[in-house]
Structure 1
């Protein structure tokens, strides 16, 4: 895959992630702390979508460098670790994205009535800054390796 095509793919994914973030902040309101179970489930689904988009980009970037991720039960964790080891992302970004990966695992296995605002708030608070750093890291990696 050429650098241009990879960037186009990433731009399309980033547009999708930006849409998810916009929809998330349609539900999340400043200073609001009392959300219904349905609202919390929606917020959690948007955070899950956000991280799925990040994983889509990481998979494509690694595949473009012929660095395949093995199909294993731990592939989500392996993808993130490989992205760190191959210097796609920094250690700080790895640590932050690990929180979203942990939430992804929780979300997939949890009942929506077990989702609580106190677990979502730190992820929401870091979401936009994390996305900015992730975009910089991805485009930097593409520019230096392609």
Structure 2
């Protein structure tokens, strides 16, 4: 396959996957927004867990996009126990000769906080969730989603033009 054809095929795959995940994010955020209309102090344990899972699912979509970018345009997904964090760091860093930095500092910092919250959700009991912390991270997700999607789309367009 010629380099131009490979670039086009990779671009089409990246863009299609991005659009699919973007739709999942939009559907997921509908539920999160519904929960955010409620007074967080009055949330039931089930509602609090649901809010935490919406946050969890948002980061899963972001990470799925990162994994696809890493597999298609870089050296693959990092290995080891800290691969989730290292993958996020890779998206915030330029990979010499491979690709430009994808995430802004602000988006990276927000996603890092959301990743840490997801880790808590995955590795702890829902009864230990803090309502204020969960609500703060939910709001962070809503503030972060638009710049995140924009930065990813911008990267995909740059990739289409340059192959990097």
Short-chain TM bin: over 0.9
The one-character-per-residue Cα deviations of 1:105-133 (angstroms, maximum 9, x if unpaired) are 11111111101211111111122221100
Determine the C-alpha separation between the residues in 2 that align with 1:51 and 1:138: 14
Match in the other structure for 1:67: 75
Match in the other structure for 1:26: 34
Task: Indicate yes or no: 2:46 matched with 1:38.
Answer: yes
RMSD: 1.4
Unaligned 5+ residue runs, structure 2?
1-8, 95-100
Determine the C-alpha separation between the residues in 1 that align with 2:53 and 2:68: 23
Aligned residue pair count: 146
Task: Indicate yes or no: 2:115 matched with 1:101.
Answer: yes
Aligned-pair CA distance for 1:143: 1.2
Q: TM-score, with normalisation over the residues of structure 2?
A: 0.83
Conserved 8 A contact 2:40-2:131: no
Aligned-pair CA distance for 1:2: 2.4
Unaligned 5+ residue runs, structure 1?
none
- Runs of 4+, deviation exceeding 4 Å: none
Match in the other structure for 1:4: 12
